[in-house]
Amino acid sequence: MTRWLRNVATRAPVPVFAVAGAETREAVQTLRLDGRVRLVSAPRQASVLLIAGRLPETLLDAAVAAHDVMPTPRATVLWLDDPLAPPPHPFADAPVHRGGDVASALVDVQHALLRGSQPSEPPVRPDIEPAPWRGEGPYGQGGAGMTGGVPYGRPMATREDDRDGLTLDVLPVPVGPLFSGFPDGLTARVTFAGDLVHRFELGTNPYGDGEARALDDPFWRALHEPVPIAELEVARARSLLRWASEAARVAGLDALSLRTLALAERAEPGDAAAVRALGRWLTHPLVTGRQHHGVAALDASELGGLGLGPVSRASGIPDDLRSSDPAYVELGFETICHDDGDAAARWRQRLAEAEQALELAARAGSRRTGGSGAVESPRGRLEPDSSPTSRSLPLLPDLVTGMEWGDAVTTIVSLDLDLPEAAAIASVAGAPA
């Protein structure tokens, strides 16, 4: 019976929890299209931990914590394209895969675990309490009175005045940097009053060491040199579709998420009609339109001058650098806007812009643009010393305070934050990330 169960288990997709560095995020996302692998949203659902690329120290610490809560048997696979990159110290003994077909390596490790030919990995960290608390406080529970404290590193509820003047129990919870509902690397200390966000305090950007963007990112290159418009617009459409895929995944729409990701992988200038058809599904009132209607509505007065691309244009602000670019004017470019300014409008805005981008690419010919020191990226105005994400992040605490947690996650996803980009821009500009 045991042998039969093992054989059945080897035919199932490998449950993998992935932690990706800045340069491997898209490759890990694309791994979802491989039927041999099932990327899971929590380490307790996984048997294999995939560490892809070079991780900043904060993410490496989070990867260690994720590893140690995975159920046994468990294993780690390192996916490193750089032939000279050494394995990260906590996982020095893990197998290293260098190349494109990492799914085969994940399958091989899973089969070895199930058949017992590879032992389960022990915890990386010793099993000790992360914070002293025993014997502290009048009841020895680590807090003041019956509240407060962090027994075994887990915060207890305290009492605070809420905005209605009542004194209620609130619970501070650290979230991120591997929370599947957040953009990669985002961390926050969220204080909950029931299921409402009582306070939202952003953490530091873990990519603050200035991990560079990939050199073939056309928007990065367009800051300094002319780039073919067709290349820019195809990259824009693919980026917007990748956002839609991730947003659909967070919303629990797995089938539509995979369909959108597959289109993002192969999108070409002739695929505008396919994007239009997919957009009708994704924004249908019974799919996302109704549940996101009215969530995190941003008034134009809150966004004036920030240059947040689709976020600004979804609130009716016709702010797009392409509208004053002679090369785009020749193509007949017209700025698309929506008026509602809520999360549903941001869905419609991005999908409409993805469709428009492929139409522009189809008739762009050999036209080029760029080198002027600013470019309209998929997230908004990108400059050598400022990114859309760095200008969006300060909006978050006030925007999500008072929301139910589900709406807060929807709001954060709808802003399309890119922390590695913000860190890389800040590093070039010499400012804190």
The answer to whether residue 431 scores a pLDDT higher than 60 is no
The answer to whether residue 32 scores a pLDDT higher than 70 is yes
Question: Which long-range contacts (C-beta less than 8 Å, at least 24 apart) are formed by 271-276?
Answer: 271/237, 271/358, 272/355, 272/356, 272/358, 272/359, 272/362, 275/237, 275/241, 275/351, 275/354, 275/355, 275/358, 276/355
CATH of domain 218-429: 1.10.645.10
pLDDT digits (tens, 9 = 90+) for 74-89: 999 999 877 777 888 8
* pTM beyond 0.85, yes or no: yes
pLDDT digits (tens, 9 = 90+) for 5-31: 677 677 889 999 999 988 889 999 999
pLDDT at position 188 is: 96
pLDDT at position 2 is: 67
Measured in degrees and rounded to the nearest 5, phi and psi for residue 377 equal -85, 175
pLDDT digits (tens, 9 = 90+) for 370-395: 998 899 999 999 998 899 999 999 99
pLDDT at position 70 is: 96
Higher-confidence residue of 246 and 156: namely: 246
pLDDT at position 214 is: 47
CB atoms closer than 10 angstroms to residue 10? 14
The CATH class that applies to domain 2-115 reads alpha beta
pLDDT at position 50 is: 97
pLDDT at position 424 is: 85
pLDDT at position 66 is: 96
Measured in degrees and rounded to the nearest 5, phi and psi for residue 159 equal -120, 130
> Domains of the chain: which residue ranges?
2-115, 153-202, 218-429
pLDDT at position 160 is: 76
pLDDT digits (tens, 9 = 90+) for 161-175: 776 666 778 889 999
pLDDT at position 168 is: 74
Cβ-Cβ contacts under 8 Å for 72 (sequence gap 6 or more) = 120
The answer to whether residue 210 scores a pLDDT higher than 60 is no
Percent of the chain with pLDDT over 90: 67
The answer to whether residue 46 scores a pLDDT higher than 80 is yes
pLDDT digits (tens, 9 = 90+) for 279-329: 999 999 988 888 899 999 999 988 888 999 999 999 999 999 999 999 999
The answer to whether residue 355 scores a pLDDT higher than 60 is yes
pLDDT bucket at 103, cuts 50 / 70 / 90? very high
